[in-house]
Amino acid sequence: MTVWDDLVGQEPAVAVLQKAVSGASAVVRGESGAAVVGMTHAWLITGPPGSGRSNAGRAFAAALQCHQDGCGECKDCQTVLTGAHPDVSLIRTELLSIRVSEIRELVRRAAMSPTQGRWQVMVIEDADRLTEQAADALLKSIEEPAPRTVWVLCAPTVEDVVPTIRSRCRLLVLRTPPVNAVAQMLVAKLGIDADLAGFAARAAQGHIGRARALARDEEVRARRSKVLEVPFALRDLGACLKAAQQLVEAAKEEAKASAEKVDEKERAALEQALGVGTKGAKPREANAALKELEDQQKARAKRWERDVLDRSLVDLMALYRDVLVLQTKAGTELINAELTRQIEALGARTTPESTVRRLGAITACREAIETNVAPLLALEAMTIGLFEG
């Protein structure tokens, strides 16, 4: 076992990071010329959703601290991977953006020397969510880092990071993991049946976290099946509006269920920290702190709802992609092979040109939701486009 084991299908990227770690170890040992072997102070790791950007950032941080360059077994590796290492800061957000106050605190820590480890490593898992002010606050620290500080930024694409930041980072691009590699991982690590693992890997389209959920949770598979019923139910305008409403309601319910699991724990922990419910006067700042927590939880629920909707739209795009594959006789493996008969029937009623228009309608819906168009309006426009396309 090493820290790189969770980077499924990313052998080229792992080789780059391992070379950098070797260079970093040489720097620590004080070897001359060590800096030329691939190590640099700022990295930007990009890749499609589910490719393992965050895993790569954590694995790199662990390997930098490890005296064996990422053995996966030592205390340094384990504490980094669990988020407990004092010299590794893992920053991610469940909100819509990373605030400037969070980055200023990170910059302050980055200026310090390592307390126990070999490097001070700052991993920002959602660098695409930096506000403009947060990016400005980060820039100087990346331009003029402390001697033993390494920045690792993660984002879907290089264009998602402001030019002033990305131009100062070394770019590492992850690929979409091959379906076979994901399936093998599900069988080897989770003991999933080979047929179910193959289905989950195909349906997840290279998204490792999604593949795990599909393989392990029957409810997740059932929700996906419900989404894939939409194209076959669009018989008139009323059916289009109903389908859009059902997609929104399903996303809200799923996001609410996820939020309820963490909201109560967060509120209870904050109330305990503030002394709410204990004897004596309630702290003056308690109401303000609780209100701020509620606002953050609402923002997080909104993001989770968007994420659920986007996942549903990706599944719909995969279905129409399969239709187009059959219509054009491309010979490529179907993502939804279990629905081959239904996909053949859908393709027989339309043309490749109309399928391309339907794919465009889904893409437009994803973009509209990303730019804060009301989800119901965006989905109504999409389902009508699917019906008329």
Q: Over the stretch 95-142, which tens digit does the pLDDT of each residue have?
A: 667 888 889 999 999 998 898 889 999 999 999 989 889 999 999 899
Q: Above pLDDT 70, what percent of the chain?
A: 95
d(CA 103, CA 324): 45
Please tell me the predicted confidence (pLDDT) of residue 35.
47
Say if residue 32's pLDDT is above 60. Answer: no
Structure tokens at 271: 């109330």
User: Distance from CA of residue 276 to its chain's centroid?
Assistant: 35
Please tell me the predicted confidence (pLDDT) of residue 212.
94
Please give the average per-residue pLDDT across 147-173, as a whole number: 93
3-state secondary structure 136-176: HHHHHHHHCCCCCEEEEEEECCHHHCCHHHHCCCEEEECCC
| Start-to-end CA span in the chain (Å) | 51
For residue 322, give the H/E element and its range: helix 286-327
d(CA 159, CA 378): 25
Helix, strand, coil percent values for the chain (each to nearest 5): 65, 5, 30
Query: What is the band of 297 on the pLDDT scale with cuts at 50, 70, 90?
Result: confident
Lowest mean pLDDT among 121-130, 252-261, 329-338, 366-375: 252-261
d(CA 285, CA 288): 5
Report pTM.
Answer: 0.80
Please give the average per-residue pLDDT across 82-98, as a whole number: 85
Please tell me the predicted confidence (pLDDT) of residue 289.
77
Please tell me the predicted confidence (pLDDT) of residue 283.
62
- List the beta strands (DSSP E) in the chain: 42-46, 88-91, 120-124, 149-155, 170-173
Mean pLDDT of the chain: 90
264 or 201, greater pLDDT? 201
Please tell me the predicted confidence (pLDDT) of residue 367.
95
Count Cβ atoms within 10 A of the Cβ of residue 130 and give its class: 0-12 exposed, 13-18 middle, 19 or more buried. buried
Which DSSP string corresponds to 229-277?
A: THHHH--SHHHHHHHHHHHHHHHHHHHHHHHHHHHHHHHHHHHHHHTTT
Say if residue 366's pLDDT is above 90. Answer: yes
Say if residue 94's pLDDT is above 80. Answer: no
Say if residue 151's pLDDT is above 80. Answer: yes
Residue listed under structure tokens 């509120």: 267
Structure tokens at 75: 């205390």
Query: What is the band of 287 on the pLDDT scale with cuts at 50, 70, 90?
Result: confident
Query: What is the band of 19 on the pLDDT scale with cuts at 50, 70, 90?
Result: very high
Angle at 124 between CA 119 and CA 129, to 5 degrees: 165
Query: What is the band of 36 on the pLDDT scale with cuts at 50, 70, 90?
Result: very low
Give Dmax over CA atoms of the chain in angstroms: 75
25 or 80, greater pLDDT? 80
Angle at 4 between CA 205 and CA 16, to 5 degrees: 90
Q: Above pLDDT 90, what percent of the chain?
A: 67
Say if residue 14's pLDDT is above 90. Answer: yes
Sequence letter at residue 220: V
Residue 301, phi-psi category: left (phi > 0), alpha (psi -120 to 50), beta (remainder): alpha
d(CA 271, CA 92): 23
d(CA 324, CA 344): 10
Q: Over the stretch 229-285, which tens digit does the pLDDT of each residue have?
A: 999 999 999 999 999 999 999 999 988 887 777 777 877 777 777 776 665 555 667
